[in-house]
Amino acid sequence: MVKESLRAIFEAEKKARGMLESAERERSKITESAKVEAEKLKERAKNNAKKKAQKLLEEYRKKAEEEAQEMMKKAQRQILAMERKARERQAKAVRVILNTISKVG
């Protein structure tokens, strides 16, 4: 009877060790799987952030380009207006000079 009890205890311990080893293997698998999944999530988040940053950069670049074009158009209009005024003043100056010459002569 003692022998059978010891054998039962031994078998129970053996079974418990097997269960612990199995639980440890399962824990390791779960931990490794969680690490892999966390790395994937981290990489996806990083890629998404890069895409968003790239999109924002492109939007701002486009907006800056549009503003620069508008500024160039405005500057061109101002240049044309200045040239027109300069021609008008030049024509007026020529008339004044011609009138002065004709009065003197």
Question: pLDDT tens, 4-62?
Answer: 888 888 889 999 999 999 999 999 999 999 999 999 999 999 999 999 999 999 999 99
Tokens of 25: 């293997």
Global pTM value: 0.53
CA–centroid distance for 8 within its chain: 66
Question: pLDDT tens, 71-97?
Answer: 999 999 999 999 999 999 999 988 989
Tokens of 17: 């060790």
Asked whether residue 63 carries a pLDDT value surpassing 70, the answer given is yes
State the DSSP string of 49-91: HHHHHHHHHHHHHHHHHHHHHHHHHHHHHHHHHHHHHHHHHHH
Give CA angle at 104 (99, 105), nearest 5°.
Answer: 100
d(CA 51, CA 85): 51
Give the residue carrying structure tokens 């021609």: 87
